[in-house]
A and B are shown apart, each in its own frame.
Chain A
Amino acid sequence: MNNEALIEMLAAGVKPVPRRDFAQRFGAGLGLGLMACLLLVALALGFRPDLGWAVQHHTFWVKLGYCASIALLATLAAARLARPDAGALGWLLWLAVPVCALAALAMFDLAHAAPDQTRALWLGASWKMCSGLVFLLSLPVFGGLLLGLRWLAPTRLRAAGAVAGLAAGAWAASLYCLHCPETAAPFVLVWYSLGILLATGLGALLGPRLLRW
């Protein structure tokens, strides 16, 4: 087909594109993924029985705040990288704030713990499962984000895949808080973060393949 005919064809069926369409497409994928993840937590793992008690204590909110702040930043970055002119992403360095804050809290807890308690602060009762479960729970969210990104136009595919993985991991960790009874800051810092990093790595690995257009 020659270019003039192509242009005629493309211009023939022009419909208005409202500005909210971008957010709708991106949000639809993310929403689907979050729903699937929440269902998995509720049905396969179950909410922690003492959830009503936990939400009255700061340790629950520290954990959730850590995961959710990373999730929000990474989701914003993924939305930026869904555009061909994503621009500089230096502001992602703000991710250091939740990480450093939780690290400081972990140090404080460890410094004030009896020597025979430090092991429990690091390992809790579920360190063997935690990272793996966060990673598994991140998969539906990651799939949803990929779906959204594929409708859009990312051009830095590895970076887009990585931040999508980071967002998926952090969202999954946020929802996992509804199940996981661990409260110690060192535990969250190590095992939650490890799960989130695994998801990020998977995203960086798959981005260039799955996001091509």
Chain B
Amino acid sequence: MRVTEQQLWNWMVAGLGGDALAHRQLLAALLPMLRAFFRKRLPGQGDDIEDLVQEVLIAVHTRRVTYDPNRPFSGWMFGIARYKLADHFRARGRHVTIEGLEDILVAEGFEEAAIARADVGRLLGLIPAKQAAAIRATRIEGLSTAEAAQAQGIGESDVKVSVHRGLKALTARITGGRP
């Protein structure tokens, strides 16, 4: 059963007033919410998820003086959860995966091309030169497959395969092997 914001707020405010039962109900209700929150962002990292859930529960308890009852409860609680998640990434020196990177690379427009180009250039350095050249020609410079094939002196199907493999390799590089 999904607990409403109003119910969470009621428990929180009662807990702040010293009601231990309400406080326990609040923490128990947060347990599945926090598990879902972290599971979605750290797929397949069960131990880390449980550690983070506990850290947030403890923070909700020990730092509840920072909750202002005039403001929404979930905003405050998820503010803590997001902070603990960011701290988790920072501590492990990992980077948050870019969601849908393949879509970004494939996108027709490249709206923020000016900003992205430096990053894309660096990324293309990570994959074989032939694949990088094919991606650069067809996806960045905007040549057709035929034009790219002619420019590089290879077949059209060769260009298509290189683009496909190159994008796949890039995605794998960036997501650390996960699809």
Residues of A within 8 A of B (CB): 1, 3, 6-8, 10-12, 14-17, 19, 21-22, 25, 82-86, 152-153, 155, 212-213
Decide: A11 near B18, CB < 8 A? Known: A84-B66, A85-B79, A152-B63. no
Within the complex, the shortest CB–CB distance from A97 to chain B, in Å, comes to 26
Residues of B within 8 A of A (CB): 15-21, 23-24, 27-28, 31, 50, 53-54, 57-59, 61, 63-69, 71-72, 75-77, 79-80, 82-83, 87
On whether the beta carbons of B53 and A85 are closer than 8 Å, the reply is no
Give the residues in chain B near A153, CB-CB below 8 Å: 59, 63, 66, 80, 83
On whether the beta carbons of A6 and B57 are closer than 8 Å, the reply is yes
On whether the beta carbons of A155 and B18 are closer than 8 Å, the reply is no
On whether the beta carbons of B58 and A10 are closer than 8 Å, the reply is yes
Decide: A12 near B20, CB < 8 A? Known: A3-B50, A25-B65, A83-B76. yes
Determine chain A's interface SS by DSSP, over half rule: loop
On whether the beta carbons of A11 and B24 are closer than 8 Å, the reply is yes
On whether the beta carbons of B57 and A3 are closer than 8 Å, the reply is yes
Cα-based distance from A156 to B20 in the complex (angstroms): 30
Cα-based distance from A8 to B20 in the complex (angstroms): 10
Within the complex, the shortest CB–CB distance from B54 to chain A, in Å, comes to 6
Query: Please, could you name 30 A-B residue pairs with CB atoms under 8 Å apart, sorted by A?
Result: A1-B54, A3-B50, A3-B53, A3-B54, A3-B57, A7-B28, A7-B31, A8-B24, A10-B23, A10-B57, A14-B20, A15-B18, A17-B16, A17-B65, A19-B69, A83-B66, A83-B68, A83-B76, A83-B79, A84-B63, A84-B77, A84-B79, A84-B80, A85-B72, A85-B76, A153-B59, A153-B63, A153-B80, A153-B83, A212-B87
Give the residues in chain A near B18, CB-CB below 8 Å: 14-17
Give the residues in chain B near A21, CB-CB below 8 Å: 65
Decide: A6 near B54, CB < 8 A? Known: A11-B24, A83-B76. yes
Give the residues in chain B near A84, CB-CB below 8 Å: 63, 66, 76-77, 79-80, 83
Cα-based distance from A86 to B28 in the complex (angstroms): 25
Supply 16 further A-B pairs (C-beta < 8 A) apart from A7-B28, A83-B68.
A3-B50, A3-B54, A6-B57, A6-B58, A8-B24, A10-B24, A10-B57, A10-B58, A11-B23, A15-B18, A16-B17, A22-B66, A83-B67, A85-B75, A213-B59, A213-B63
